[in-house]
Structure 1
Amino acid sequence: MGLSILGLSRFQFAMTTIYHFFFIPVSIGLALAVAIMETMYAVNKKLVYLKMAKFWGKIFLLSFAVGVVTGIIQEFQFGMNWSNYSRFMGDIFGAPLAIEALLAFFMESTFIGVWMFTWDRFKPGVHAIFIWLTWLGSTLSAIWILAANSFMQHPTGFEINKATGHVRLRSFMDVVANPQLWRAFPHVIFAAVMTGGMIILGMSAFAMLHKRTQQHDGDKVFFTKSIRFGAVVALVGAVFATGAGDLQTQFIIEDQPMKFAATEAIYNDTSDPAPWAVVSLINEEDKTANSIEIPYMLSLLSYHSTSGSVKGMNTVNKELHEQYDAKFGKDMNYYVPVTTLFWSFRFMALSAAIAGLASILALWFTRKGKDTLMNYRWLLWIMGACTFVPFIGTTGGWLITELGRYPWIVYGLLTIADGVSPTATVPSLLFTNIVYFLLFLLLGAVMIFYSRRVLYQGPDGEGELPAGKARAAERTSPVSAQSTGSVSGNAGGTERSVALS
């Protein structure tokens, strides 16, 4: 892309959206996990679940707050760098984004505040409803954001305004019923569930490696319980995210064949049955790929059958030229970034497999009567490292979704090049890229610092503190078993992740 207005605009939005999307699955996944924890306490009155809800609720609040900040930065770019796109899409985006702000975000922001500050004002069952409503608000927000993004992937319910050349909403219900939306939404939500579970599992493993946890039986019990809980949540999320991803793939094969062929590095039509490339050396300039293949496997994955060929990118490119040359000209390049999509797909699939395997191992080594996980420091280190695995998977999924749409910002209607702001300049984009990058580094450092601090203070909030402060914290800690105080934090704003790059 180089130092051009288009290249820098795309890089900036990609950087902002990827970083923002680090925190959205964490917020949704942890909100659900905390809601389940508090509900379990309300049902069986075991204090360990109250401690878990309050402790992991702190991590949830941190991720939510950082996600809000990055979401606000992302929104600025619609006007800064993509004003032509905003004008083109304004009528379509207006309805779902207004509903997201007025309904979903209002619910989310209201009930997260109520939940934070009313631990001692409501019965456990009533208080648990607040975090469930917070999670519901986040989930509804995801639906409306994905509705807008799905239009960019598969436009429905629109007509072209002949006076302006912009899209105009014809049927709101068609936008909501977009088949792309209802295939993407389950995949995103279950990936968020997997992410939340892996955060709990991985951070608990790091805590069990800490000397404080090893010296306190109460902390061992707490983090062992958290590991088992996180493992169950992550395993469920990984299994269902994989199933939902398969359903989405079936749709993409027909709707965006160039994207699908790129994820498998297929330039020429395959044989029938189609082999699956485990690894591939791709030459995008010569449009060739040398692969290690497993016979029949791609037909099984694509069509759930031992027969069926897959259309290659060369064939799809010819079809797209035949379809769009009259509108966009014969010089359009319809080939997507093949190498990026090929490996992004494999990293995404591998992340789900690793999450599932780590969850099974965690459950096995913490099973009743055979709790030996503390004896295997190497396994705890591996599980701790798995904290970061979901971020690799979700980033890979985002890259597939957005880069696979190239060269369009709205599929078949508006190119990426035509969506850039006419007033943007290279110096201004360089400056804002540097500023955003440094800001994201700062936000990431703050998130890691406070998450680590919360983790190593332990469930009673007294670790790594001087003795006097530790005793004071024990009397006033919001996460102690005796306390009914509130968990404090600051969060607000909305989380929007409609991607352009």
Structure 2
Amino acid sequence: MDELLLARLQFGVTTVYHFLFVPVTIGLSLLIALLQTAWVRTGREHYKRATKFWGKLFLINFALGLATGITQEFQFGMNWSDYSRFVGDIFGAPLAIEALLAFFLESTFLGIWIFGWDRLPKLVHLACIWLVSIGTMLSAYFILAANSWMQNPVGYTFNEQAQRAELTSFTDVLTNQVLVWAFPHTLTGCLVTGGILMAAISAWHLKRGRNLDTMRPSLRLGLVVTLIGTFGFLFTGDGLGKAMTETQPMKMAAAEALYETSQPASFSLFTIGTLDGTAPTFSIEIPDLLSFLATGTLDGEVKGINDLQAQYEAEFGPGDYRPYIPITYWGFRIMITAGLLIGLVSVVGLWLTRRGRLPQRKWVWTLAIWAVVLPFIGNSFGWIFTEMGRQPWLVFGLLKTEDGVSPTVPGGTVLASFLVFTALYGILAVVELGLMIKFARKDPPEEPKTPDESKLEFAY
């Protein structure tokens, strides 16, 4: 059995599965903090009910995300021991800070927030959910710092004797040019995910004419945040693309299946063909767009796969330095298409619900509900493109993927653990989806009546 292929498949499944939960956690935590802020400032009870309603869904997702995240980190030692040894000195600092600071912050204050209703002063309780939200963002920052170092190694020296990278500047790691764009790009993607999820569930209730006082504000908030997130997602994606071109030009060439260096370079919206460098059967192209995405100018030069392959062979030795082109090409387009459709949904939704209006046609609500799948598709293919586009490098220019796998773990063991993890994740997916649907369909909780209100009702 091919240990490398099985290890890659297992880590890929674990990563994509885990990242289904992360954007929901980060996005919803901010939306809940905004709703609770609205309640504290206005005193309107429907904001409090909405806060508690979305808080339950957040907690379900947080628990499942935690479980899958721990499993992902275990794989560093199980299937990728040589990789862990190589990057351990670099990754130790950001991952330790993530666990000791960011995760501690979010988990501790989440517990206080859960049990602090009606026990803490309003402002103190509100501060707790804001700290949870900040904690989730800090957690993403430090994890992305580690991932960005794999894309663009900085702040290190290579120890020839130990055959490992060693940290020389933690500041350089935390200000990596890839991280500077990857963090806001990921964060805006999380806002879009949380916003669309809130809008879709609100649409389900509004389609049935239920809970208008809580779901209409939730719908509008979700759509506004989604629209803001979409603009941010596109802007930061543009910056990340230029940073990627500078640090990993092969990834940008693979995203277009551009085999020959071009100046200017066009961007193909759709291609029918093998993507192997031969003339495509059919292609729709926008002139000069790839040059702008890669360099910021309409006549910029974009290096092709063939020239980069020759350059890397001269620099790193014989080998195939091309990623799997069909995945990078189509993954890049699926990610962009999902982002544009999300933006369209938010614009149309805000227009149809302006000035107190609500659409009367059921199919409009149905489309709004099914739009919930778009951010998950975009996020997943974005990560697949990011990681697959770096191949054959595990750490770009320093460590190949084939050199990072555990040398003493047989393929049968990897396969067994892969099957167990896949089965476990399948069960967790059913549990997660079932719980989310169950609680999403429930009405927001009613606030208990005060003793005086109960007496008046009884007397009446």
On whether the aligned pair clears a TM of 0.5, the verdict is yes
Aligned residues: 449
**In structure 2, the residue corresponding to 1:349 is in which secondary structure?**
helix
Please give the residue correspondences for 1:87-486 in structure 2 after superposition, counting only pairs within 5 Å.
87-209=85-207, 213-214=208-209, 216=210, 219-270=211-262, 272-283=263-274, 289-290=280-281, 291-325=283-317, 330=318, 332-369=319-356, 371-373=357-359, 375-460=360-445, 480-482=446-448
Secondary structure of the 1:167 match is: strand
Quick one: which amino acid aligns to residue 77 of structure 1?
Q
Name the CA shift for 1:403/1:287 in 2 (closer, same or farther; >3 Å).
farther
Partner Cα separation in structure 2 for residue 251 and residue 321 of structure 1: 23
Greater alpha carbon shift after TM alignment, 275-284 vs 231-240: 275-284
* SS of the residue 2:101 aligns to: helix
- Please tell me the residue identity of whatever aligns with 1:324: F
Letter in 2 for 1:228: R
Q: Which amino acid aligns with 2:390?
A: R
| Corresponding residue for residue 45 of structure 2 | 47
What does the per-residue CA deviation read over 1:454-489, in whole Å, with 9 as the maximum and x for residues that have no partner? 1211113xxxxxxxxxxxxxxxxxxx23479xxxxx
Deviations for 1:142-161, whole angstroms, at most 9, x for unmatched residues?
A: 11111111111111111122
Segment drifting more, 156-165 vs 113-122: 156-165
- In 1, distance between residues paired with 2:159 and 2:295? 39
What stretches of structure 1 of length at least 5 have no aligned partner? 461-479, 485-501
Task: Report the AA paired with residue 201 of structure 2.
Answer: M
Query: Per-residue deviation at 1:284?
Result: 5.1
TM-superposed CA distance for 1:35, in Å, is 0.5
Q: Output one character per residue of 1:62-118: Cα deviation in whole Å (capped at 9) or x when no partner.
A: 111100010111111111100111111111111111111111111111001001110
Q: Which residue of 2 aligns with 1:489?
A: none
Give the % identical residues. Answer: 42
In structure 2, distance between residues paired with 1:267 and 1:379: 43
Unpaired segments ≥5 residues, structure 2? 451-460
The residue type paired with residue 366 of structure 1 is T
Q: Determine helix, strand or coil for the equivalent of 1:180.
A: helix
Q: Structure 1 149/300 Cα, relative in aligned 2: closer, same or farther at 3 Å?
A: closer
Q: Matched residue of 2:53: which SS?
A: helix
- Secondary structure, counterpart of 2:284 in structure 1: strand
Secondary structure of the corresponding residue to residue 300 of structure 1:
helix
Alpha carbons of 1:338 and 1:46: their partners in 2 closer, same or farther (altered >3 Å)? Answer: same
Return the alpha-carbon distance in structure 1 between the equivalents of residues 426 and 206 of structure 2: 27
8 Å contact kept, 2:241–2:293: no
Q: 1:411 to 1:262 in 2, by over 3 A?
A: same
Using the size of structure 2 for normalisation, the TM-score is 0.94
Distance change in 2, residues 1:288/1:416 (3 Å): farther
Q: Write the letter of the residue equivalent to 2:225.
A: V
What RMSD, in angstroms, separates the aligned Cα atoms of the two structures? 1.6
Contact 2:16 2:383 in 1 (8 A): yes
Q: Which among 74, 77, 85 is matched to residue 75 of structure 2?
A: 77
Deviates most, 282-291 or 340-349: 282-291
How far off is 1:287 after superposition? Answer: 6.0
CA distance in structure 2 between the partners assigned to 1:145 and 1:288 by the alignment = 41
Q: Which amino acid aligns with 2:240?
A: Q
Distance 1:347 1:279 in 2: 11
Match of 2:269, SS?
strand
Verify the 8 A CA contact 2:204 2:369 in the aligned structure 1: yes
3-state DSSP of counterpart to 1:274 = coil
Q: Which amino acid aligns with 1:425?
A: P
Deviates more, 1:148-157 or 1:296-305: 296-305
298-307 vs 229-238, which deviates more? 298-307
User: What secondary structure does 2:157 align onto?
Assistant: strand
- Relative to structure 1, is the Cα distance of residues 423 and 483 closer, same or farther in structure 2, using a 3 angstrom cutoff? farther
